[in-house]
Amino acid sequence: MNNRVQEMNEDLVMPGEVAAAPETVRNAGPAAPSPSVQMRTNGGLGAYMRKVRAITRKELQAEWRAKEVFSTMTIFGILAVLVFGMAFDLRVPKSDMVAPGVLWVVLLFAGVLGLNRSFGAEVDRGSLPALLLAPMDRSAIYFGKMIANLIFMLAMLALVLPTILIIFDVNMIKTWILVALLLGVLGYVAVGTLFAAMTASVRARESMLPILLLPLMVPIFVAGVALTAAVVDGRTLGDFWRWLGVLSAYDLIFVTIAFIVFDMIWQES
Amino acid sequence: MSELIEIRKVYKRYGRKSVLRGVNLSVGAGEVVVLLGANGAGKTTLLRTVSGLSKPDRGEIQLGGASFSTAGYELRRYIGLVSHTSLLYDNLSAPENLNFFARLYDMQAPAERIEWTLQAVDLWRRRRDLVRTYSRGMVQRLAIARAILHNPPVLLLDEPDTGLDQESAEMLHQLIRKLGADERAILLTTHNLERALAWADRVCLLVDGRIVFSEKTANLTGDELRRQYREAGRPA
Amino acid sequence: MSSVSTSQSRAGAQSKTGRSGVWDILILIINIAATIGMVALVWASLVYAKPATNLAGDEQLAQRIFYIHMGCNVGALIAFIVSLTGSVLYLITRNLRWDRMSQASIEIGIIIGLGTVITGSIWAKPTWNTFWTWDPRLTTATITVLVYVAYVLFRNGIDNRRTRALFGSIYALFAFLTIPLTYYSARWFRSIHPVVFSGDNADAQGGFAVGSTMMQTVAVGAIAFTLLFIALLIARWRQLSMEDQLFELREDLES
C-alpha cells in the first residue's frame, strides 16, 4: 500500500490506479463500464488559470440564473443616484460640482451589497467546503470570485453612468474616467473579496463588511473623485496623472497582499 | 504498512468544547467502516478533520501514507466528501454542477464520466433541470455523484442516508458496496443501526470524542450492537 | 487551542514569575518616567516655551496646544508601527503573544490618535476659524483612528481565539498600508496645514516661527508620549496575556 501511494504521490494519476472504475450499480443502469478518469496534475500556471476561470464562470452562470447580486446592486445604485439628484437639486448651482462625488459614493455603497453575497451565499447554502476541498491553491477561489465581482460592478456601472447622465446632465462616459473606474473597481474588489471571505463566517457580517472596507477605500475614493472632477472640468492628462498613479499603486499593493494572505483564512478552522 | 485512512490520537476542540479526544482509527482499502454515535459525539468533526477542512489540534491524519502537511493541496484529490449540506449550487443543473467540479479537479474530457456518474445515481433523465427543482433525495444522490466524480480512493459520507426513501437508500447501499469493492476506503456515519450492520464491514461507536467500541459486523448481531449502543450512551 | 500551546504558555508564566522582581521594578520605573514625562510636558508647553512671536491674542495662546498635539501624533505613529510589527510577526510565527502586542498597541493608538484629532480640532478653531477642515493630516489621522476602531469591532465578532488573531493581523496589515496612500491622496486633494518645520509651503496658514525653547518642548512631548505609550503597552499586553491564560485554564478545567 505504502509503495503504491508513494508512486501516486510522484505522478499523481492515482484515482484511476487505486480503484478500477466502479461497475454499473443498478440493473437499470448503463451496461457499459465506467469511463476512466484522467486528470491533469500539477499543471502549473495553466491549470491554475483554468480553475480561476471555472470559478468565475460558475459565479456568472449562477448569477445569470438567480440575478441576485447584479439586480440588487444596480437597483440600489440607480435609486441612490435619484435620491442624490433630488437632494442636491435646489441647493447646488451646477450639478457637475457634485456628480463626480455621487458616482464614487454610489459605486462604493452599492458594491458592498454584491461583495457581501460573494461568500455570504456560499456560507448560507453550505457550499463553501466544496471549494475548499478542491485540489488547488485557495487563492484560485480568490481570483475567480474577484474577477466575477469586477464584472458585476462594471455591469452595474454600465447602467449607473447613463442614469447620472440623465439625472445630473453630466456626461461622465469619457475615456479617462472609464480607466479610473476600472482601476478603482479593481482595487475595491481586490480588498473587498478578501474581506468578504473573512467576514462571511463572522457574527453580523452584513454590517461588518462596510465598516471594515470603507475606511480602507479612502485613497481610491479621493483619487477617483479628483480624477473624475478634473476630466469633467475639461483638464488634460498632465493635471491628473498622479491620480492614476495612486489608483495603480493601490491595486498593485493590495492585489499582491490579498493573494499572499488569502490561503491563510481557513487555516484555523 | 499503513492503511488508506490512518487516524492517530486526534484531538480537536472548538472554543471551550473538546470534540475529539484522542481518536484512533484506520480504514483499509476495500473496507467500509460505519461510525455510530449520538448527535454531538464528534462524528461530523472527525470527518471534517480527515477531509482536511479542519486541522486537528494534536495527532496525525494520513491518507495513503501522506499527510496534508507534507503532500499539500494535491492530497485533496484522494477525498470524496458527502456532507450535511449538499455542496452543490442550486441554480445550476446537475451536469453543470459536475462540470464545474470536474474543472476544479483538472479532469480531462469529463463529459463521459459525468454522464456515467449521473447514470449511476439515476439522475441522467433529469439532467436539464436545475438542482433547486430536485427533491431532497435527488439532491442527496447528486451530492454522492459529486463526491465520487473524480474517483477518489477515500470516501467520507456524513449521514448519506438522511432524506433518502427506501429505494434510494437501497441504491446507495449497492453503490457503497461497489465502491468499497474497488479498493476504496469508505468511512460513513449514520443513525440507523440496521443500516450500519447491513452496510459496514466494521462498526465503531463514538462517544464524547472517543471510540469506545469497534467490531467487525460479521461477529455482531443486531441485539448485541443495540446493547453496546445503549450502554455507551449511559453516563459512566 | 492545542494543549501544546497551553503547556508552553504555562511554562512562560512560571519563568515570568521567576524573574518577577526585576520585571516589576522595571515596569515601575517606566511608569514613573511616563508620569514625570507628562508632567514635564504640561509644564514645558504652558510655561517654559516662549510664546510664538509672529502670532497674537487667542492664536498665540492656542498655539501651545501644539506641543500636546505633536506628542500625541508621535505616540500614535509609534503605536501603529508597533501594531504592524506585531501583526506581521504573528502571521509568520503564529505565536499569540505577537497578536496580543498588536491588539494592545492598537487600542492605545486609538486613544492617543483620538487625542491628536481632538487637540488638532481645538487648535484649528482660533487658527483657521473652524473646528474641522479637510486638511490631509487631520483627515488621515481621523480615518486611521476609524480604521482601527473597525479592527476592534471586527475582533469582537470572532469567537475562535486563533481566527481572531489571524483575521485581526491581516486587517491590521491592510490598515497600516493604506495610511500613506490616504495621506498622499488627501494631501494632493487640498492642503492648508501649517508646515511648521519647513517653510516651503506658501499656502500654509497658521505657521509660526520656531525658537529654541519651542524645539525643546517639542522634544519633551515626543519623549513623554513615547514613554506613556510604552508604559500603557506593557500594562495592556500583560493584561491580555493573563486573560488568555485564564481562558485556557478555564477550558482545561471544563474539559
Map out the domains of chain B with their CATH numbers: 5-84+147-233 (3.40.50.300)
In a domain, C248, yes or no: yes
Query: How far is the C-alpha of A105 from the C-alpha of A82, rounded, in Å?
Result: 13
| Rg of chain B taking only CA atoms, in angstroms | 18
Residue B98 has pLDDT above 70, yes or no: yes
Residue B132 has φ and ψ, to the nearest 5°, of -70, -15
Residue C77 has pLDDT above 90, yes or no: yes
Structure confidence at residue C12 as a pLDDT band (50, 70, 90): very low
Statement to judge: residues A31 and A64 lie in one domain: no
Query: How far is the C-alpha of B186 from the C-alpha of C253, rounded, in Å?
Result: 36
In a domain, A117, yes or no: yes
User: Are A223 and A246 a contacting pair, CB within 8 Å?
Assistant: yes
For C159, the closest of B13, B15, B18 (CB atoms) is B15
Q: Any residues with CB less than 8 A from the CB of B231 and at least 6 apart, and which?
A: none
In a domain, C10, yes or no: no
Q: Is the pLDDT higher at A37 or at A263?
A: A263
Supply the pLDDT for residue A29: 34
Query: How far is the C-alpha of B37 from the C-alpha of B39, rounded, in Å?
Result: 7
Supply the pLDDT for residue A2: 41
Question: What total of structural domains would you count in chain A?
Answer: 2
Nearest CA in chain A to C146: A215
Statement to judge: residues A80 and A170 lie in one domain: yes
Contact A23 B90 (CB under 8 A): no
For A66, the closest of B83, B91, B122 (CB atoms) is B91
* Residue-range definition of the domain harbouring residue C63: 21-254
Supply the pLDDT for residue B164: 80
In a domain, A268, yes or no: no
Query: How far is the C-alpha of C159 from the C-alpha of B60, rounded, in Å?
Result: 25
Assign 3-class secondary structure to C152-182.
HHHHHCCCCHHHHHHHHHHHHHHHHHHHHHH
Put simply, whether C158 touches A (Cβ < 8 Å) is yes
Residue contacts between B and C (CB atoms, under 8 Å): 21
Across the range C202-213, mean pLDDT stands at: 61
In a domain, A269, yes or no: no
In a domain, C16, yes or no: no
Put simply, whether C159 touches B (Cβ < 8 Å) is yes
In a domain, A3, yes or no: yes
Q: What is the DSSP annotation of B132-188? A: GGS-HHHHHHHHHHHHHTT--SEEEEESTTTT--HHHHHHHHHHHHHHHHTT-EEEE
Statement to judge: residues A93 and A216 lie in one domain: yes
Closest CA to A141 of A42, A265, A46: A265
Structure confidence at residue B69 as a pLDDT band (50, 70, 90): confident
CA angle C242, C243, C249 (to 5 degrees): 85
Structure confidence at residue B177 as a pLDDT band (50, 70, 90): confident
Q: List A39's β-bridge partners, or say none.
A: B107
For the segment A214-257, what is each residue's pLDDT rounded down to a tens digit?
999 999 999 999 999 989 888 888 778 889 999 999 999 999 99
In a domain, C9, yes or no: no
CA angle A16, A17, A21 (to 5 degrees): 45
Statement to judge: residues A116 and A94 lie in one domain: yes
Structure confidence at residue C235 as a pLDDT band (50, 70, 90): very high
Statement to judge: residues A138 and A34 lie in one domain: no
Statement to judge: residues A22 and A56 lie in one domain: no
Statement to judge: residues A231 and A202 lie in one domain: yes
For the segment A39-95, what is each residue's pLDDT rounded down to a tens digit?
655 567 888 999 999 999 999 999 999 888 899 999 999 999 999 998 888 777 888
Statement to judge: residues A121 and A236 lie in one domain: yes
Could you tell me the CA-to-CA distances from A268 to C67, C85, C129, C197 in Å, in that order?
A: 45, 21, 52, 48
Query: How far is the C-alpha of C43 from the C-alpha of C60, rounded, in Å?
Result: 17
Residues of B (123-152) whose Cβ lies below 8 Å from A: 130, 146, 148, 150-152
* Residue-range definition of the domain harbouring residue A100: 43-262
Residues of A (60-79) whose Cβ lies below 8 Å from B: 61-62, 65-66
Statement to judge: residues A2 and A50 lie in one domain: no
Statement to judge: residues A103 and A213 lie in one domain: yes
Calculate what percentage of chain C has a pLDDT beyond 90.
Answer: 48
| DSSP state letter for A37 | P
Statement to judge: residues A126 and A176 lie in one domain: yes
Supply the pLDDT for residue B1: 46
Statement to judge: residues A26 and A122 lie in one domain: no
Structure confidence at residue B7 as a pLDDT band (50, 70, 90): very high
Put simply, whether C170 touches A (Cβ < 8 Å) is yes
Residue B150 has pLDDT above 80, yes or no: yes
Question: What total of structural domains would you count in chain C?
Answer: 1
Residues of A (236-255) whose Cβ lies below 8 Å from C: 242-243, 246, 249-250, 253-254
Contact B53 A1 (CB under 8 A): no
In a domain, A145, yes or no: yes
Residue A13 has pLDDT above 70, yes or no: no
